[in-house]
Amino acid sequence: MSRVNSAMQYRRLRSPKDHGGRLIDPPLSDVQSQLSANLDPARRGDCDLQGRSLASLSGTARSLLLDAAIEYTSVYRDVPGSLSLAGTPIVMTGHQPDLYHAGVWYKNFVLDQIARKRQAVGINLLIDNDTIGKATIRVPSGTVDSPLVEQVAFDQARNEIPFEERRLMDPELLNSFAERVRSKLFRSINSPLVEQLWPNVVTASISSQNLGSCLSQARHQLEASWGLKTLELPLSQVCDADPFRWFAATLLTRLQQFQQIHNELLLEYRRANRVRSQTHPVPPLAADGEWLEAPFWLWSATDPRRRRLFVRQVRDGIEITDRQAQRHLLSLTSDGSCEVGVEQLRQLSDQGIKLRSRALLTTMFARLFLCDLFIHGIGGAKYDQLTDAIIQRFFGFTAPKFVTVTATAKLPIEHPVVADTEILATQLKLRELRFNPQRYLVSLPEAASLVTAKQKLITTEVQFDSRQNRHLQIAQLNDAMQPMVEQQRMKLLHERANLIEQARIGTLLGSREYSFCLFPEATLRPLLLDI
């Protein structure tokens, strides 16, 4: 694989600040040219993955993906009967199967729009290898003058495990969720979507005990009622198919090279984006003696705590481990086919052993093997700049382009809006009272002598070695004038405290992070459908 230089540059991506603001980058008018460029087979060249071409693996992966997505989606909603893979582009997005905020949900609507306009299939990938701990959402409650945010649970809390393994624990808590949300939510919000959504969640829980599936299927049914025609599929099903196993096996056999490229480019990304955190956007892949960390999770059905995967070379192949109970041999070598290793991974899967991609690798596989255009949120778009560089360096061709999408929706609650400049102006006035009180005392007779004395000190030229003495005299005069501006100071302190409290209330009630299910349909539907 050829070494191609990469150049990462800082990209400023920000969520829209105001309600109704939307970000689609590049704009929809440019999506066709972007999709056409991604579809050009010459872009990838003839990339070999341990005896199979990337194009061949991608063709198999896409065929399996479409069949699986149709089968999965058909269980709970109608699927268009005319879907065909032959020559049809695939557009994809993905997120955890959770009650996310409206800005995340907006990706699904853009997905549907692009798929319609470009005669493509739109597929939403349910990232069920991510973990869930507290099964709650934040609900704004109280009054506008005294608001608070309460956590309302839709299931019992438990230790963090992947969505894929998370079973429903408390059906009664699930069943009463919509009613409890409604009892807490601001009275000014009429007919929140949770009232439409939740009967379908409860119905789904009768046939599926997977919590994420209940939430995502109900949300997908709601989208269907609004006219969306996309498909969905859990990532776990993608990872349990042979094309992903072949991809994983290729990376495991070439892990030393991949890890070196990954870590070098991660440092370059952090420099370009001025990132100091050692965990953002991802931590470096570790090395511990002969063990090298690979960008995968490993767990078992009997112990569903995901752990990092480590790999070492052995005489007949490689050994993989989670550095706990799991340790397995795979017949994989850097100069041989992956067929035996893929079969061994399939056998491990049959035994309940789960090999799953981490975030960066998930979108890498999706963009290279599953779809012709991927739709990211802002977070994914930022870290996939690193993915682009790794693809370029490791595979030897330019990564396919993606689209970045988000929106801002705020609950219909009247709340104060305080600009940062208002608080800053008050703070500057307080500082002025402390260090230039004379400016507020020019009309006060009892301050005249102090004001005159300070003005004289300020305007009189002094030698360098006398400046400290002058500074002390000015400070003493400022102190002497403080009682005379005390009333003004108290007024400004009260004003500042009030502004800070109003800003806190505005931030709380004006957050874009509240779950989409708290919004009335009349608030969200125009924003999401008007693309």
What are the tens digits of pLDDT across the range 308-320? 999 999 988 999 9
Range with the poorest average pLDDT among 34-43, 68-77, 204-213, 347-356: 34-43
Mean pLDDT of 234-255: 97
Mean pLDDT of 424-446: 92
pLDDT at site 182: 97
pLDDT at site 1: 42
Confidence of residue 80 (pLDDT cuts 50, 70, 90): confident
Q: Cβ neighbours of residue 531 under 8 Å, at least 6 residues apart?
A: 24, 28, 109, 110, 113
Check whether 6 has a pLDDT greater than 60: no
Mean pLDDT of 226-254: 97
| Structure token pair of residue 474 | 């000015």
Quick: pLDDT tens for 117-174. 999 999 999 999 999 989 999 999 999 899 999 999 999 999 999 999 999 999 999 9
Mean pLDDT of 440-450: 88
pLDDT at site 442: 80
Mean pLDDT of 65-89: 86
Mean pLDDT of 58-87: 87
Confidence of residue 13 (pLDDT cuts 50, 70, 90): confident
Amino acid at 108: N
Main-chain dihedrals φ then ψ at residue 354, nearest 5 degrees: -110, 120
Mean pLDDT of 24-29: 93
Confidence of residue 280 (pLDDT cuts 50, 70, 90): confident
pLDDT at site 87: 72
| Structure token pair of residue 358 | 């981490």
pLDDT at site 8: 67
Cβ neighbour number for residue 444 with a 10 Å cutoff: 14
Amino acid at 356: R
Confidence of residue 2 (pLDDT cuts 50, 70, 90): very low
Mean pLDDT of 429-448: 91
| Structure token pair of residue 42 | 């010459």
Terminal-residue alpha carbon distance, the chain: 41
User: Percentage of the chain surpassing pLDDT 70?
Assistant: 97
**Cα–Cα dist 32/49, whole Å:** 29
pLDDT at site 85: 64
Mean pLDDT of 265-272: 92
Confidence of residue 273 (pLDDT cuts 50, 70, 90): confident
**Cα–Cα dist 135/129, whole Å:** 16
Q: Are 334 and 256 in contact (CB under 8 A)?
A: no
Check whether 5 has a pLDDT greater than 50: no
**Cα–Cα dist 252/249, whole Å:** 5
Check whether 114 has a pLDDT greater than 50: yes
User: Which span out of 44-58, 81-95, 324-338 was modeled with the highest average pLDDT?
Assistant: 324-338
Domain range list for the chain: 131-232+513-529, 420-509
Q: Cβ neighbours of residue 83 under 8 Å, at least 6 residues apart?
A: 66, 70, 121, 231
Check whether 86 has a pLDDT greater than 70: no
| Structure token pair of residue 366 | 């999706």
Mean pLDDT of 359-385: 95
Q: What is the mean pLDDT of the chain?
A: 93
Cβ neighbour number for residue 225 with a 10 Å cutoff: 11
